[in-house]
Structures are given as C-alpha cells and as structure tokens.
C-alpha cells in the first residue's frame, strides 16, 4: 500500500515538473515559430531555426536531467560516436518497445546528432502543449487512412506521400536526423503472435515509409543510424518510468552508409527495387534481433543471473 502511494506521488511530481518545463519552453518556441512563418528571408529563417533548436535541446536536456535524478534508470549505450556529429543528414531506424523509447533516444542523442524528428500521427497535434511544440519544431504530421476510406476516395492514398515530400524538401538544406520506428507500432506479445513474426524480439518491419524517405532525401542523406533498444527487466510506459519501475534500458548504435542502390529508386512502381529493398531491410532486422538477444544475455550475465 505504501509503495503504491509513493509511486503515485513520484508520478504526480514528475508530471508536474515535466509540465512546468514544457510551459517554460513552449512560449519562446511558439514565438520563434510564428516569426519564422511570417518572415520570407532565408537568412532570418536560418537564425530562427537555430534558436528553435537551441530551445528544444535545452528542453530535452532538462527532461534528461529529471530521468537521471528522479529515477534509478540505468541507460547502457554502446556504439555511440565519441564526437558529436551535428552537420549531417541522418536517417535513424529503430525498433519500438515503449513510449519511453522517445525520451531515451532524445537523452542519448541530444546535442550529439542533429535534432531528432519523428513522423507523427496527425491526432498527436492535439496532445496538450506537446502538440504545439511538435508543430513549432516542424515535426511532420501524417494522417492515416483505412483501406475502406481509400477505396471510396483513391486520391487519399497519395496524401501521406505528398506530406513526406514536403518534409524532405524543407530539410534538405539543414542538418537533421529523421527518426523512424520501422515496425509502425509498439511491440507486444499479442501483436507478435498475430503477425506470426519470424523474429524473436521484433515485429515485422514496414518497408514502404522507410524506402520513401530514403528515396526523397537520397541525395542529401549521409548516414544510416541503426538503433536497437531493449528493456531487459521489462518495458513500461512513461508512468512506469517516473514510478521508478523501469530499472534498465540498453541501446545499441550502429552507424553505416546509406546503400547507394537505394538512392532515388521507385518503391511504389519498381517491383525489382521493392523486392531488393525489402530483402535488405529484413536482413537488417535479423541482425537487430540477434543484437537484442545479445544485449539481454549481456544484462543477465552482468547481473550474475
């Protein structure tokens, strides 16, 4: 009983601090975002972009400080480059275990890679405070349509692709890290069983969105950042993090060049390209599955189990 009360107090306190931190930063973010929208001058917009990134990085740094000081979470990272790489165009591919993945990735890569942006479901723009922050930081919002909706209105099928094109054009000239949870959803045992996934620790990867971004930004992307993330003692959500019920997360970072054969292809229309891309991504996922198994065994060995 006492433990549940303390956990609830921890969650309440952490939520209050997160909300306060967001309030402090959201005002300057929105002000600079509005100025950027109004000013037609590239130089001024570039200065404002740097200001937006500085505010966002500070917001993430404070959130990361809270993780370090308000929880006992141990974040083990291997493969992280020793020196920050802040001037390139990176594509990050990651498996998806929990909503905790996002603050963990932000903590690991803040001020070490260009600011990390994810493609978000359009409904998330209505999340209090955070939706406005994501809008101000130019996160791309994607609207998903059901097969029935597309069958009734075929023109809807191309809207996500056009949104992706706009996003890629906007960031072709500035440093960026494009994040993609390739499985498209968080891992659960039920989803794993329903998919009949061939991987032990992963859902099947969805190749279409990854291929499209790689095609659209193929000429500007520098490096692929392959991330494997796992919670050896069980994953939870944000409430579990601040209730101190997630003791450990392990993150493996692998940097590799973008395969030249996948730059500028046509995933939608070229069957040969599509088959080759899917084969490459499936092999990447097999390697990731083995990496996650190794990380789990390593955690167990270090714990003496």
Domain residue ranges of the chain, discontinuous segments joined by +? 1-70, 74-115+175-302
Amino acid 40: pLDDT? 74
Neighbours of 134 (CB within 10 A): 20
With the C-alpha atoms ordered 279, 285, 289, 291, is the resulting torsion angle positive or negative? positive
C-alpha distances out from residue 91 to 158, 233, 259, Å? 22, 29, 12
Amino acid 149: pLDDT? 67
Which parts of the chain register pLDDT below 70? 1-3, 6-7, 143-147, 149-151, 154-163, 218, 305
Amino acid 170: pLDDT? 75
Residue with tokens 């930081």: 137
Pairing of strands 223-230, 248-257: antiparallel
Amino acid 261: pLDDT? 85
Amino acid 264: pLDDT? 75
Amino acid 160: pLDDT? 66
Exposed, middle or buried by CB within 10 Å (0-12, 13-18, 19+), for 285? buried
Amino acid 41: pLDDT? 77
Exposed, middle or buried by CB within 10 Å (0-12, 13-18, 19+), for 112? middle
Amino acid 156: pLDDT? 63
């Amino acid at each position: 009983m006492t433990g549940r009360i303390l956990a609830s107090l921890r969650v309440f306190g952490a939520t209050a601090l997160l909300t306060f931190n967001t309030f402090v930063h959201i005002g300057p973010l929105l002000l600079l975002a509005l100025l950027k929208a109004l000013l037609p001058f590239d130089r001024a917009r570039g200065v404002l972009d740097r200001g937006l990134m500085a505010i966002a990085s500070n917001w993430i740094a404070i959130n990361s400080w809270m993780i370090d000081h308000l929880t006992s979470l141990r974040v083990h990272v291997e493969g992280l480059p020793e020196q920050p790489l802040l001037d390139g165009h990176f594509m990050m591919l990651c498996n998806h275990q929990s909503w905790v993945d996002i603050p963990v990735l932000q903590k690991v890569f803040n001020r070490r890679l260009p600011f990390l942006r994810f493609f978000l479901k359009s409904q998330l723009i209505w999340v209090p405070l955070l939706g406005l922050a994501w809008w101000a930081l130019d996160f791309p919002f994607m609207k998903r349509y059901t097969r029935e909706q597309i069958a009734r209105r075929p023109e809807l099928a191309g809207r996500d692709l056009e949104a992706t094109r706009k996003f890629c054009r906007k960031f072709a000239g500035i440093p960026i890290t494009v994040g993609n949870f390739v499985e498209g959803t968080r891992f659960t045992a039920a989803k794993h069983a329903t998919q009949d996934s061939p991987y032990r620790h992963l859902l099947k990867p969805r190749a279409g969105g990854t291929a499209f971004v790689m095609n659209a930004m193929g000429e500007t992307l520098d490096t692929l950042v392959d991330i494997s993330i796992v919670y050896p003692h069980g994953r939870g959500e944000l409430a579990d993090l601040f209730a101190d019920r997630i003791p450990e997360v392990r993150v493996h970072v692998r940097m590799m060049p973008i395969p030249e054969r996948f730059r500028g292809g046509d995933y939608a229309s070229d069957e040969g390209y599509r088959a080759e891309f899917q084969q490459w991504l499936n092999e990447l996922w097999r390697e990731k599955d083995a990496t996650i198994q190794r990380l789990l065994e390593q955690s167990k060995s270090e714990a003496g189990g």
